[in-house]
Amino acid sequence: MATAPLRLGLVVRRSPYEGRHAGAQLDVALAAAALGMPLELFFLGEGLLQLSASIAPSGAALPPGLKAWKSLPALTEVRAWAPEGNPLLCGATAEWLLPLRVEPPAALARRRAACDRVLAP
């Protein structure tokens, strides 16, 4: 009898291009998605900028790799979350690479606790 795949929670706190760690978070998500693991992505603080469709890294001579967040739903079930009160949510023209759900921090803590594994690289 087949068992359900593990649900992975990934906490994303780093802004895009903040050293190697920001890209590593995307790498973990892509690897888990390639294995068919359902993902719960928690974008906290400046980590929410990784989902911004309007960031143009070309001006800084950096690769556009973080746009790959939008490819995750083609690989597995994905839910992206952000806590209420994040000032980055206030932009009237904010466009996100994934459908973003906003919840109170306590609700997000319960969602993280419901995951089989949680990584916060």
Q: What DSSP character marks residue 47?
A: G
Quick one: tokens of 58? 């070309």
CA-based angle 47:48:53, to the nearest 5? Answer: 125
71 contacts 29 by C-beta, under 8 angstroms: no
Mean pLDDT of each 10-residue bin along the chain, 121 residues long:
82 80 84 95 92 66 68 96 90 78 96 96 74
CA 100: distance to chain centroid? 9
Quick one: tokens of 101? 């759900």
What global pTM score does this model have? 0.87
Q: What is the pLDDT of residue 16?
A: 79
Q: What is the pLDDT of residue 65?
A: 54
Quick one: tokens of 38? 């359902």
Domains in the chain: ranges and CATH = 8-119 (3.40.1260.10)
